[in-house]
Amino acid sequence: MDEARRPPRSFGRELGREERIRAMDKAGVRKGPIDLPFFLLVLLLLGIGVIMVLSASFASAYYDVGRVTGGNPTHYFLHQAVFALSGVAIMLLVSRLPTALFSRLSYWSMLVALFLLLMVLFIGVEGGGAYRWISLFGITTFQPSELAKAAVVLCFAKMICEKKEQMQTFRHGILPFVMLLGVISLLLSQQPHLSAMVIILGIGVIMMYLGGAHWAWFAGGLGGMAAGSYILMTQFPHASMRLIAWQDPLQDPLGIGWQIIQSQLAIGSGGLLGVGLGQSRQKYLYLPEEHNDYIFAIVAEELGFIGGVLILSLFAILILRGFWIAMHAKTKYAALIAAGMTGLLALQVFLNVGVVTNLLPPTGISLPFFSYGGTALWLQLACMGVVLSVSREIPVKRAG
C-alpha cells in the first residue's frame, strides 16, 4: 500500500492508557469493560434457547396450530432469532449507558409502566380471555407487565437510596413500597395476569429486603404474601382449578391437568441422556405451549437429565455472577439495580422450571432466553444490559 496515504500512527494516541483512566476518574465517567463471564453466559443461554425454540416449535409450526405460521416449520425460530440478535444489540446499547442515567429515569419508568398498565385495560389485545397485550404498530405485541417488572427494580432502588436510614421505619421503609405494589397488583388483577403479579410481588419483596427493611417486616410480609396469594388462588377461579390440577393432574386429564401430565411425560421420557436434539416426541402436539412456557420440558426430553442440569447450572452461574457484580458495584443504587435485575431473572427461572417440573402450581411464567416471545426477550436482554452497565463501573484495582 501507499505509505503516504496512511494516517499518522501517532493519531489519537497523545494520551497513554494510564493517563486516560486518570482523566476519566477525575471526570467520574471512567468505564471499564463489561463483565465478560456474565455477557458470555447470557449469549450462551440465548443461543441454546433460540435453538431449542427451533426444535420445540418445529411440529406445531408445521401443523400451524395457531394459524399464524402458514405451515412453515421454522416460522417461530426465525422470529425468535431476529429478536435475539436485535435484543443483543439492545443489551450492548444499555450496557453503554451510565447507571446514573437509570437512576434519573427510575421514577419515570414507573410512571410509564403504570400508565401502560392502565391503558392496556382499554386498548389491550385479547388473548385467552385476558387483556395483557398492547399492539405495537400492528407488527408485534408488548406486555406492559414486563416493563413493570423492570420498573419496580429501578424505582424501588431509587426510593431505597433516598430513604437511607428511614428504611428501618414502617412509614418510610414499608408503607410506600407496599402501596405501590398494591396499585400495580390491582391493575394486573384487572387484566387479569396472575403470573406477572406473583413475579412483581416477589421482586418487590426482594428489593425491600435488599433495601434494608427490618427482617421482622420482611418475615411478616412474606407471611402476608403467602396469605394474599392463597386468597388470590382461591378467588381467581382459574387459579384454584390450577391448584387442584397441580395436586392431582389426573382428576382432569383432558383439561388443565393435560399440560401438567404431558410436561411430566416429556421430562420423564428424557431420562439420563435424553432422546436427542430434535427428537422430542411430546412436541408433536401432545404438549401445549411447548415453545413458550413449557419449552424446558422439551429441553429436558431432548437433552436429558444431563442437559437439563447443565442448562440449570448455566442459569445458576449467571445468577451468581449477577449477584457478584451487585456486590462489587460502585454505588448503592448500582448494587441494588444489579441485584434486583438478577433477582428478577432468578425468580422467573425458578418459577418457570418449578412449574414445568410440577414442583409448583401451574402459572404462565416464561423461561428467560428460551421461551418464544419477542418484546419480552428484548426487555430481558435490556435488563441484562443494566447489569452489564453496572459491571462496567466496577472500580478496577490499580497496580500500585
Partner 1 sequence: MERGRKRITGTRTQLWRRTMVLMAVFGVFTFILLGAQLFSLQILQHHELEQRAIAQQMREITVSANRGTIFDANGAILAQSASVENVFIDPNTIYRLEQDGALIARNLAAILDVDEQMILARMQDRDSQFQTIRSRIDRDLADEVRAFIAEHEIRGVHLEPAVLRYFPHGRTASHVLGFVGADGTGMGYGVEGSFDRYLTGVNGRIVRLTNARGGAMLRASYENYYLAQPGHDLHLTIDVNIQRIMERHMNQAVYDFDLQAGGFALAMQPQTGAILGMVSLNDYDPNNHGRLSPERMDALRQQYPDNDEAFWGAVMRELEYSWRNKNIGYSYEPGSTFKMLTLAIALEEGIISPDSDRIFYCGGHMDVPGREDPVHCWNRNGHGPLTLTQVMQRSCNIGTVMLAMEIGPDLFFQYLQAFGLFETTGIDLSGEMMGLVWSEADWNSFIGYGNFSSLAAASFGQTFTLTPIRMVTLTSALVNGGYILVPYIGERVVAQDGTVVREGERVVRRQVISRETSEWVRHFMESTVADPLWGTGSNAAVPGFRIGGKTGTSVDTVLEALTGRTEYVLSFVGVAPMDSPEIVLLVALQSPGPNNTTYPSGGQMAAPLAGRMLAEILPYLGVASQLGDEERVNAQVPYVRRQTVEEARAELIAEGFRVLIQGDGEIAGRRVVDQMPAGGAIVMVGTEVILFLEGARPEGEVTVPDVTGLRYQEARAVLEARGLYASRSGAAANHNAIVVYSQSRQPTEVVRRGTVIELTLIDISR
93 to 122: interface string for partner 1, x by CB under 8 A: ------------------------------
Task: Compute the least distance from the CB of residue 281 to partner 1, in Å.
Answer: 5
Q: Could you give the 3-state DSSP secondary structure of residue 132?
A: strand
- By CB under 8 A, tell whether 253 contacts partner 1: no
Amino acid at 126: E
- By CB under 8 A, tell whether 206 contacts partner 1: yes
Residues 6+ apart with CB under 8 A from 12: none
- By CB under 8 A, tell whether 248 contacts partner 1: no
- By CB under 8 A, tell whether 298 contacts partner 1: no
User: Which span (24-32, 74-82, 347-355, 375-383) binds partner 1, by CB under 8 A?
Assistant: 347-355
Enumerate long-range contacts of 277-280, CB under 8 Å, 24 or more apart.
Answer: 277/51, 277/55, 277/302, 277/303, 278/55, 278/58, 278/302, 280/55, 280/56
With respect to partner 1, which residue has the nearer C-beta, 71 or 138? 71
Rounded Cα–Cα distance for residues 348 and 42 (Å): 15
- By CB under 8 A, tell whether 343 contacts partner 1: yes
The strand pairing partners of 80, in sequence order, are none
Q: By CB under 8 A, name the one of 212, 214, 243, 244 that touches partner 1.
A: 212
Residues 265-294 that bind partner 1 (CB under 8 A): 265-272, 279, 281-282, 284-286
Rounded Cα–Cα distance for residues 113 and 151 (Å): 7
Q: Could you give the 3-state DSSP secondary structure of residue 28?
A: coil
Quick check: bond before 249 cis, omega within 30? no
Q: What is the largest distance, in Å, between two alpha-carbon atoms of the chain? A: 83
Q: Could you give the 3-state DSSP secondary structure of residue 134?
A: strand
- By CB under 8 A, tell whether 177 contacts partner 1: no
- By CB under 8 A, tell whether 354 contacts partner 1: yes
User: Which span (147-155, 176-184, 219-227, 326-334) binds partner 1, by CB under 8 A?
Assistant: 326-334
How many residues in the shown chain lie near partner 1 by CB under 8 A? 59
Rounded Cα–Cα distance for residues 384 and 196 (Å): 19
Which chain residues interact with partner 1 by CB under 8 A? 58-59, 62-64, 67, 70-71, 73, 164, 206, 209-210, 212, 264-272, 279, 281-282, 284-286, 300, 304-305, 308-309, 312-313, 315-316, 319-320, 323-324, 326-327, 332, 335-336, 339, 342-343, 346-347, 349-350, 353-354, 357-359
